[in-house]
Each structure stands twice: as structure tokens, then as C-alpha cells.
Amino acid sequence: MRSWNSFGILFMMGAGAFLIVALPLLVETFVLVDFTLYAALAILAMSLALVWGFCGILSLGQAVFFGIGGYAYGVSVLNIGDSTLPVALAVLLPMIFAAMLGYFMFWGRISDVYLAVITLTVSLIFFLVINSTSGGEYRIGAAPLGGYNGIPGLPALNLPGRPDRQLDFEEMYALTVALALATYFFLRWLLVTRFGRVIVAIRENEVRVGLLGYDSRKYKLAAYVIGAGVAGMGGALYAAWGGLINPDVFGIAFAAQVIVWVLIGGLGTLLGPVIGVVGIQWLVGWLGKMKITDANIILGAIFVAFVLFAPAGLIPKLRKIGVRWLNRRRVSASGSVESGP
Amino acid sequence: MDVVLVVVIQVLYAIASLALISIGLAIIFGMMRVINFAHGEFLMMGGFACIMFADAGVNLWISMLLLAPLVVGAIGIVVERLVIQHLYGRVIETVLATWGLSLFFIGVASITVGYFRMGVTPPFGSIRIGLYSEGVYTFFVIGVAVAVVLGVYLFLRHTRWGLIARGTMQFPNMAAALGVNPRRVYAATFFAGAALSGLAGAVLAPLAGVVPTSGITYIAKAFITVISGGATVVAGTTAASVLLGGINQIVTFLSRPVIGEVALLLVAVILLRFLPQGITGRFFRRGL
């Protein structure tokens, strides 16, 4: 199946080149603006794909790192002006927070469910705290936190060191898609390193990994922290995309959406969650336009249906169908299927 | 002196409301190892049921203490039959499925009721304590919480049904061999948990009002309480409510409500570092 993997990488490179170079020539700017959002959210989805899909840490509150990244970007860019350092902070601060939270969770060896609930609760606490900062006295330097209205009027990203030279929509699009692709390849690479093999092994059987001499706590913490950094970068891009960051990113509805993306796309894949992002965002937008029914009902129904009927998600299911189809065509092919990333 | 009295009452109220919103979740988790993410929505539906029956002319006490629990309990049975029963033993899947249900219920509530706050005025009026005034309803909430916790304890400890429930949770196969139908016990337990959540939602509705997203304000605290308490229903919920509710309210009194909530979370996370099985994982192990 190695040939399939290199084919997949070539395919992704081709798709990336097409998205960055050709698409802007083909479609209107507002489509690019939508795609920029998808790319920023895809980065968040891939961070959860790493943490949950490959390492088996059910981080229900993964969006909290996205939110911290967004707020770190918003607050620091209003104070500094130049967007280079704020993006770095948006990656760094979530990692520091994840390291602290992860220490308590992984060294306490709390069970999966407890961990799931704690991560989500942390997100909800952030939601409450940020929501209550609406007064003018809550400001960090030049940036008012703004409570439930969030921080509006954030500048877009600029060329490093030149705050006066901001990126336009097309450049913002190209950068965000490029960073999403870079994230994809980075995680692909990470998963075939020794470290990546160990975290997948932890997902499969943590006790056995421990008996083989690996300290699973350290590996889980590292995966969690890397995931937080990736999610934080997504948050910065999201804040720069909309010029706004508000506490909804810490809310339960957004946290649920992130889970649905990964669940639908498929655990143990990187591309599946990205497809989940595009599919769900498109569906939610379409429902909003059509005003047929409340988006929560559809989202909730999809959620329950996938858990009951397709817990593995779309991509693994399609892959299984595809493999069966290939095997039928090439009867002599061996039946073993490697379940790589 | 009056200040001390008022603070004591407030702390007791914080503990009582925490126990009240957590006990339904604790029963379902402690007995069946199911984390019910739709718990907040059970509270929300209890509140709506109470207010709607009261608006329709039913006596407030009947709709609060009888009808709301029955309605939410019935919804609980439907949920258990349609979704949860397929997922027993698969903890993560139940978390995800009930979370989906939670979104679904929020959606249904917001298209049927809409996004405005419904409420009833708290009965009883208020009393004066020196310079301060305190709603008599506060004492009622404390009373209900004590009655519920005590009732659950007595039920589990001293009735035949309670014995069957405990036995089934410990060893379902043995219970089945002795002629108990475990599926029926699970459904009944889920009904009880849901009904108590409905009761809690209804009792708190006059103080806070209800909107479709009301559940979200309760759910974080309820989760933290149940997890900090551990798997033992009554002892765990009581111990965690006393600890976390007390800290929350005292810190709130010293600073602001939000800081109180943050303190609650911090204490819970640090607690889990040292007691990963919750308080009852180490203390009160022989409790219920």
C-alpha cells in the first residue's frame, strides 16, 4: 500500500497547487473568502484528527485552543500593529496552556470519559469568563476584551515587518490554504516518525505501550501540545479572516461542530476531517439561507446517526468499499489492508 | 452578624443547587457508566414543562414537583430505548450520541418556544435579615435538595427496588440469573435520573427563567461535580457539592461570580490530579 501513500501525497500536492494557483483565476472573490474560512477551520479539524483520531485523546474542547489562538492574535495585534509576532503568540500560548492542562490530566491518569468532560468544561469556563468581560475596564493594553461582542476591527495579516502592507483577500486565501497544506504534510510526516508510531500505538493499546518501556504520558502530552499549537494557528487565521474574535469559539455549539467534522470524516484519517469541515460548513450555511429548520436539529441528528450507524466515519467506510472494489477487480491481490493515515 | 448569616445561607444555597442539578446525572453515570451530555437539556425541558403547565392553569406545585419530572422522565425513557440501549459499555459513543441529542433538543426547543426567556415569579416573597433581604424560595430550594438526596439514599439503601438496582449495576449477569430483567432496570434507572433532572430544572426555573440554551449554564458545573464526586451516587454528589459549591460561593462573595466559577474548575482539575477516581475513589468508599 506504499504506492497508494505516495500517490496520495502527489494528489494532495496537485490539489494544493490547483487550489492556490488556478482557483483564484476561476471563481469570484467571495468564493475565495469562503474557502479561506474553510482552510482555517480545516487546520483546527486536523489538530483534532491528530489528538483524537491518531492518539486517542478525546479532546472534546479542542476548540478552546483555537479560541485562545484567536484571542492571542487579536489582543496582541491591536497592541503591536505588526501581525508577525501575534501569529507566533497564537501558536505558543495555546501550547503553554495545553501543557499545563495536559499535565494535570495525563499525570493524573484520568480515564477517557473524565478527560473528555474536563476538556469540554474548560472550554465552557472560558466561554463564561470571556462573556463577562464586557465592561470597558477589561482591556489588555490597547485591546478591549468586549465580552460577548468579542474584539472587532482586527487588521488582516501583513507582510512581516510591514504593518502598512496588509494582505488582500486573494493573498490571505493563498496563505491560509498554503498553511493548511503545510499542516497536512507536517502531520503526515509526524505520523510516520518514531514519535507518530508511538502515539498511534497508544491509541491501540496504551498498557502494552507502557509495558514496552514508553512513558505514554509524555507522548500523549506532546501530541496534545502539538495539536494545541496547530489549533492556535487556525484560530489566528480565523481571527484575521473575519477581523473579529468572539466567545462563540469557546461555546458548546462550536465545540460540537469540531467533533462532528472529525466524526463524519473519519477517525484515524487527516483528510476526512477536512472533508467534514467543507461538508458541514456548506450544509449549515445552506440551511441558514433556506431557513427550513434550526441548524442544531440537523447537526444533532447527523451526530446521533453517525454514532449509531457509521461510527468509523465516511473516509474509512469509502476506503473499505474502494478496497473491496479493487480486490474484486484484481482477484489475485492479497486481502490485507494497511490502515495508514 | 447579619452578613455572616446571609453568607451562610448563600453557601448552603450554592451547595444545594449544585447537588440538585447534579444528582440526575450522577445516578445515570454512577449506576450505568453513561455520561449523559443531554443532561443540561433535561434540566431545560424540566423548566419549560413546569412553566408551561403553570401558564396553562395547573397549580404551580403540581406542575413543578409532579408533572415536570414525569414529562422529562418519559422523554428519558424514549431516549434510552431509541439511542442509549444500543451503546451500553461503549462510553465514548454514548458521550457523542447524547451530545448529538443535546443539540437536537436545543434545536427543537428553539423552534417550538423561540429564543425568549420564560419565567414565573418565585412564590413566598422574601424575609428580612437585618439590613438584607432573602427570598424564602431560597430556603425551599435547599429543602428540596436535602429531600432529594435523602430520598435517593433511602430508596437505594432500604427498598427492594433499590437493592435490585444496585445488584444489577454491580453484576448484571448474576441479577439476570436471579430473575431480574436488566434491560428493564436500566430503563427504570434512566427514567429516575431524567425525572430528577426534570425536577431540578423545574425547581430552579422560577429563579433563573428558562431559554432553549439554559442547559449550557448548568452543564459544566454538573459534570465537574459528578466527576469530582466519583462513581458513588449519594456520597459522591454530596461531598463534591459541599466542597465545590462552598468554594464557589465563598470566592464569589470575596470577589465576583465569574472568579467563583473559575475557582470551582481549578479546584476540580487539581483534585482530579490527586484523586483521579473522584473523591469517593478514596474516601467514603463504602457509601452509596
Distance of CA A90 to the CA centre of its chain: 14
Residues of A in contact with B95 (CB under 8 A): 58, 60, 113, 116-117
Are A298 and B100 a contacting pair at CB < 8 A? no
DSSP secondary structure string for all residues of chain B = -HHHHHHHHHHHHHHHHHHHHHHHHHHHHHHH----TTHHHHHHHHHHHHHHHHHTT--HHHIIIIIHHHHHHHHHHHHHHHTGGGGTT-HHHHHHHHHHHHHHHHHHHHHHT-SS-B----TT-EEEETTEEEEHHHHHHHHHHHHHHHHHHHHHHHSHHHHHHHHHHH-HHHHHHTT--HHHHHHHHHHHHHHHHHHHHHHHHHHH-B-TTHHHHHHHHHHHHHHHH-S-HHHHHHHHIIIIIHHHHHHHHHS-HHHHHHHHHHHHHHHHHH-TT-GGGTSSTT--
Separation between Cα atoms, residue B278 and residue B44, nearest integer Å: 27
* Nearest chain B alpha carbon to A309: B86
Are A301 and B104 a contacting pair at CB < 8 A? yes
In angstroms, what CA-CA distances link A314 with A242, A263, A286, A326, B99? 30, 8, 21, 18, 20
Q: Quick one: which of A150, A161, A103 has its CA closest to A126?
A: A150
Q: Quick one: which of A230, A216, A311 has its CA closest to A264?
A: A311
Question: In this complex, which of B103, B106, B262 lies closest to A303 when CB atoms are compared?
Answer: B103
Are A297 and B262 a contacting pair at CB < 8 A? no
Are B103 and A293 a contacting pair at CB < 8 A? no
Q: In the prediction, which pLDDT does B287 show?
A: 66
Q: What is the pLDDT of residues A301-336, one digit of tens each?
A: 888 888 888 877 877 777 788 888 888 877 655 544
Residue B109 lies in a domain: yes
Are A297 and B107 a contacting pair at CB < 8 A? yes
In angstroms, what CA-CA distances link B70 with A131, A244, B107, B151, B265? 35, 45, 22, 17, 32
Residue B255 lies in a domain: yes
Mutate to test the interface with A, among B101, B104, B214 (most CBs of A within 10 A): B104
Q: In the prediction, which pLDDT does A4 show?
A: 53
Helix axes A84-107, A63-80, angle to 10 degrees: 150
Question: In this complex, which of B93, B104, B273 lies closest to A107 when CB atoms are compared?
Answer: B273
For chain B, how many residues are written? 288
Distance from CA of B265 to the nearest CA of A (A): 8
Q: Is A135 on the interface with B (CB under 8 A)?
A: no
Distance of CA B83 to the CA centre of its chain: 21
Residues of A in contact with B93 (CB under 8 A): 307, 311
Q: In the prediction, which pLDDT does B44 show?
A: 93
Q: In the prediction, which pLDDT does A157 show?
A: 84
Q: In the prediction, which pLDDT does A340 show?
A: 47
Burial degree of A123 (CB within 10 A; 0-12, 13-18, 19+): buried
Separation between Cα atoms, residue B92 and residue A116, nearest integer Å: 9
CB A293 within 8 Å of CB B92: no
Q: In the prediction, which pLDDT does A1 show?
A: 41
Separation between Cα atoms, residue B275 and residue B273, nearest integer Å: 6
Q: Say what the ipTM of the complex is.
A: 0.80
Low-confidence ranges of chain A (pLDDT < 70): 1-5, 291-292, 331-341
Question: In this complex, which of A113, A252, A298 lies closest to B216 when CB atoms are compared?
Answer: A252
**Taking chain B (288 residues) in consecutive chunks of 10 residues, what is each chunk's mean pLDDT?**
83 92 90 87 93 85 90 94 85 86 90 76 74 81 93 91 86 86 89 94 88 85 87 86 90 83 84 79 69
* Vertex B227 angle, CA B266 and A306, to 5°: 110
Are B35 and A117 a contacting pair at CB < 8 A? yes
Q: In the prediction, which pLDDT does B257 show?
A: 79
Question: What is the total count of domains within chain B?
Answer: 1
Question: In this complex, which of B105, B227, B261 lies closest to A128 when CB atoms are compared?
Answer: B261
Q: In the prediction, which pLDDT does A16 show?
A: 82
Q: In the prediction, which pLDDT does A331 show?
A: 61
Separation between Cα atoms, residue B62 and residue B59, nearest integer Å: 5
Question: In this complex, which of B97, B104, B258 lies closest to A129 when CB atoms are compared?
Answer: B258
Q: Is A280 on the interface with B (CB under 8 A)?
A: no
Are B103 and A132 a contacting pair at CB < 8 A? no
Q: In the prediction, which pLDDT does A3 show?
A: 47
Rg (CA), chain B: 19
Residues of B in contact with A109 (CB under 8 A): 276
* Nearest chain A alpha carbon to B222: A121
Q: Residue A60 is placed in which grid cell? A: 472534546
Residue B264 lies in a domain: yes
Residue B288 lies in a domain: no
Domain region containing B87: 2-129+136-281
Q: Is A58 on the interface with B (CB under 8 A)?
A: yes
Separation between Cα atoms, residue B115 and residue B218, nearest integer Å: 18
CATH number of the domain to which B276 belongs: 1.10.3470
Q: Quick one: which of A2, A62, A58 has its CA closest to A277?
A: A62
* Nearest chain B alpha carbon to A306: B97
* A·B CB contacts under 8 A: 132
Are B95 and A116 a contacting pair at CB < 8 A? yes
Task: Give contacts of A 219-278 with B, CB under 8 A.
Answer: 251-253, 256, 259, 263
Separation between Cα atoms, residue A309 and residue A139, nearest integer Å: 48
Q: Residue B34 is placed in which grid cell? A: 453513561
CB B127 within 8 Å of CB B2: no
Question: In this complex, which of A113, A300, A301 lies closest to B95 when CB atoms are compared?
Answer: A113
Distance from CA of B19 to the nearest CA of A (A): 18
Residue B79 lies in a domain: yes
Count of other CB atoms within 10 angstroms of residue A33:
15
Separation between Cα atoms, residue B209 and residue A142, nearest integer Å: 37
Chain B residues contacting A, CB < 8 Å? 35, 83, 86-87, 91-93, 95-97, 99-108, 110-111, 216, 219-220, 223-224, 227, 256-258, 261-262, 265, 268-270, 272-274, 276
| Grid-cell match 469568563, residue found | A129
Question: In this complex, which of B83, B216, B276 lies closest to A108 when CB atoms are compared?
Answer: B276
Question: In this complex, which of B110, B223, B261 lies closest to A117 when CB atoms are compared?
Answer: B223
Residue B110 lies in a domain: yes
Residue B236 lies in a domain: yes
CB B60 within 8 Å of CB B184: no
Residues of B in contact with A58 (CB under 8 A): 92, 95
Residues 6+ apart with CB under 8 A from A154: A73, A74, A77, A78, A239, A240, A242, A243, A244, A245
Residue B286 lies in a domain: no
